[in-house]
Structure formats: C-alpha cells, structure tokens
Amino acid sequence: MAGQIVKRGENTWLVRVFAGRDSKQKRRYVSKTIRGTKKDAQKYLNQKLREKDLGIPLEQSKEFLDDFLDRWLSDVVKGRVRPNTYSSYEWVLSAYVRPELGSRKLPDIKAPDIQRLYRQMRDKGLSARTIRYAHTVLSSALGQAVKWHLLAVNPCRHVELPKKQKPEVGYFTAEQARAFLAAAEGDRLYALFLVAIECGLRPEEYLALRWKDVDLERNSLQVRRVINFLKGGGFVFDDPKTKTSRRSMHISDQLADALAAKRREQLEERMKAGPVYQDHDLVFATPLGMPLSLPNVRNRHFIPIRDAAGLPKIRLYDLRHTTATMMLAEGIHPKVVSERLGHDGVVITLDTYSHVLPNLQKNATDFMARALARK
C-alpha cells in the first residue's frame, strides 16, 4: 500500500505515505493531518505520491547547513580535489556562506536567501569573480544534498549571478621588461624574474622548479609540477592541473648563465647553513632550502624593483602576460605562444591577449599590401 487516508474526526484526515522499511524491515510511513474535505486529503496524498515517484524526499531534512557542509567536505570533497582546492573551499564557505546561512536547516534555505547573500557580498565590494566562486562551491554542496535526497531541488539553480568581468591584462612592454631586468640585476631573485619573463611560467610553476628539471648543457627546462600554498599554512607539491601544463622549452644562453650563477650561489648558501639546510632540490629557495613564499617574492623583491625602476604597477603574475604579449607582438605564432604558456588551447591564448590582435591585424594588412603592390 503506497498510501492511505484515515478519518480522524469532522473534516480531519490522517494521510499516511509509505516511506520504505527501516533497519528491522518494519514499514515506515510519513504522516500528516489534513483539515478540510476528503478531496483535500486525496489531493495531498496524490501530490506526495507524485513527489515520491520523482525521487523527492518525503521527509524534510533536519540537518543544519553547517553540519551538512562539514559532512560534504569530509566525505565527498576531500578525496576528490587537490589539497589547495579543498583548503580554498573551506575558506570561502567559512568566510562568506556559513556566517549567513550556516545556522539554517537545509530545507529552509531558499533561492531568495542565497540571492540576498550574494547582494551582501557585492555591497561589501567583493568582485564578481569571488561571488561566482562562492556560488560554485555552495551549488556543488547543495547539488549533493539533492543527490542524497535531502533536498528536492537545488536553490542555487534559481539565483542570478553578477556578470563575468574580464580581468584587465597588465604587462611590460619589451623596453620596460629590459628596464625591469636591469634593475633586478644584483637581486637574489634575478634568475627567477628572468625565468618568469622569458619562459612565461606561472608563479606556482617556477617556485616548484627543481634542478633535475633544468638541463644547463642542453639549454632546456621542464615544467613537471607546481607548489600549492594551503590557506591554513604549509605547502604541497602537486602535478600540474592539465596535460598541456606539463611542458618542455628551450632557454636562452642568457638564462642558462643566470641559472648557473644561481646554482653556485645556492651551493655557497648550503655550505654556510650546514645541517639545518633542507634540500628540496629547488632552483629558487630560501637560504635554508625551503620554498619561497609568494608574498615575500612579491613584496620584498618584485614591487621594490618595479617601483625603483619607475615602471607601471603591474602584478607579479603579469610577468607571464608580458611573455605572451611580447611574443605575439613580434609575430610568434599563437600556437607556439600557447604551448609555451601551457594553455589548454590556442583559443584561450587569443582570448586572453586580444589587446595584441589589432596590431597583428595591421601587420597582416601591411604585409598583404606589400605583397600585392605593383612593381
């Protein structure tokens, strides 16, 4: 019997819906008292049976969002994503979602509540990217609640998100890049900045670079891993996210010489440090062999060098954009640039560096004009 209606009094009916069997194989029912006509009771029963057929839970979950998020992170997310991604999920939920919604029961969280949360984040000056990221994490969690039949629908599906903002790409011109490197000569991280500009590596790639990844005799360099800094502190080395991020490239004599000098300097530091030196085989490390902190690279080296040279206030990450912009401006094929940067495809490269395309189009027009000009 899927359901039944039992008369309990004048215009009072008990509606019972079969909800399966418990651990002792006893039949379980979800019951509700309906006040009204028998037709009202039948309408309610038909609705619950229809929901049951659709997989919608008969009983509302009594679990609070905070408790559910803990369970979701532990049982689902932890074994599926990289440690830094897990740390990022924990942080964004703790910073933005839990304070506003964590004390509510799952079924009580509706789309307007989530929409209000995103408006509050926007009012605090948070970027569209941050809001959309918080949405991605929360939607993934509540999507799991639907799969576990704790929710009938995912309320995140019915909210409006801020429009994506295409980030501005900062970069040095070739002349500015030369000025930056000239100002960086003598700095302990000169070779790091030369790698960043010549090779277009991401910070997490050049900070994880090992000497075994560099062949100074053949002037080659390989990207085989990345370093991830965890939100709560610490670091882990990991494989690059995509196959195209694993790549090899030829390096100039200038860079090979700078890396050789760096190697000699590092050996001296190691001898000076003695037994306290921790050898991670890192090309760029602290005087004690530990990975460099990205904020320290930025604040203690990059920014002072940039500002002392009177250059535009681009970010450390923008040295990678400088690589791509310089190469594209010189007519290097976009496919080659894409491979050097480790992009998933040339479309990403062209979309990211569209600011260079007008010059490339003009160069193409000038070429065709010269090629077709009458002698």
Query: Are 332 and 191 contained in the same domain?
Result: yes
Q: 140-149, 280-289, 338-347, 364-373: which range is least confident on average?
A: 364-373
Domain that holds residue 154: 65-158
Residue 356 burial class via C-beta count within 10 angstroms: exposed 0-12, middle 13-18, buried 19 and up: buried
Q: Using pLDDT thresholds of 50, 70 and 90, give the confidence band for residue 105.
A: very high
Query: Are 215 and 96 contained in the same domain?
Result: no
Tokens, residue 185: 């000569």
Tokens, residue 163: 């429009």
Query: Are 49 and 69 contained in the same domain?
Result: no
Q: Residue 136 is inside which H or E element, if any? A: helix 128-147
pLDDT of residue 202: 94
Q: What's the pLDDT tens digit per position in 284-342? A: 999 999 999 999 999 999 999 999 999 999 999 999 999 999 999 888 888 999 999 99
Query: Are 138 and 240 contained in the same domain?
Result: no
Closest CA to 222 of 254, 189, 252, 199: 199
Q: Following DSSP, what letter does each residue of 161-174 receive, concatenated? A: PPPP-PPP-----H
pLDDT of residue 372: 83
Q: What's the pLDDT tens digit per position in 181-235? A: 999 999 999 999 999 999 999 999 999 999 999 999 999 999 999 998 887 778 8
Query: Are 69 and 189 contained in the same domain?
Result: no
Q: Using pLDDT thresholds of 50, 70 and 90, give the confidence band for residue 23.
A: low
Residue 72 resides in a domain: yes
Q: Using pLDDT thresholds of 50, 70 and 90, give the confidence band for residue 57.
A: low
pLDDT of residue 360: 72
Query: Are 154 and 183 contained in the same domain?
Result: no
pLDDT of residue 166: 74
pLDDT of residue 83: 84
pLDDT of residue 60: 65
pLDDT of residue 4: 78
Query: Are 200 and 348 contained in the same domain?
Result: yes
The whole-angstrom distance between residue 344's C-alpha and the CA centroid of its chain comes to: 15
Q: Mean pLDDT across the stretch 348-368?
A: 77
Residue 367 resides in a domain: no
Query: Are 202 and 341 contained in the same domain?
Result: yes
Q: Mean pLDDT across the stretch 1-8?
A: 78
Structure-derived torsion over alpha carbons of residues 307, 312, 314, 318, reported in degrees to the nearest 10: -110
Query: Are 127 and 82 contained in the same domain?
Result: yes
Cα–Cα distance measured from residue 352 to residue 15, given in angstroms and rounded to the nearest whole number: 60
Query: Are 139 and 286 contained in the same domain?
Result: no
Cα–Cα distance measured from residue 206 to residue 197, given in angstroms and rounded to the nearest whole number: 11
Specify the CATH number for the domain of residue 115.
Answer: 1.10.150.130
Residue 372 resides in a domain: no
Domain boundary among 102, 132, 158: 158
Specify the CATH number for the domain of residue 358.
Answer: 1.10.443.10
Q: Angle at CA 340, nearest 5°, toward 336 and 342?
A: 115
Residue 27 resides in a domain: yes
What total of structural domains would you count in the chain?
A: 3
Query: Are 199 and 328 contained in the same domain?
Result: yes
pLDDT of residue 56: 62
Closest CA to 343 of 330, 352, 333: 352
- Rg (the chain; Cα; Å): 30
Q: Are 270 and 279 in contact (CB under 8 A)?
A: yes
pLDDT of residue 353: 82
Query: Are 99 and 18 contained in the same domain?
Result: no
Q: 40-44, 67-71, 213-217, 261-265: which range is least confident on average?
A: 40-44
pLDDT of residue 1: 62
Q: Mean pLDDT score of the chain, rounded to an integer?
A: 89
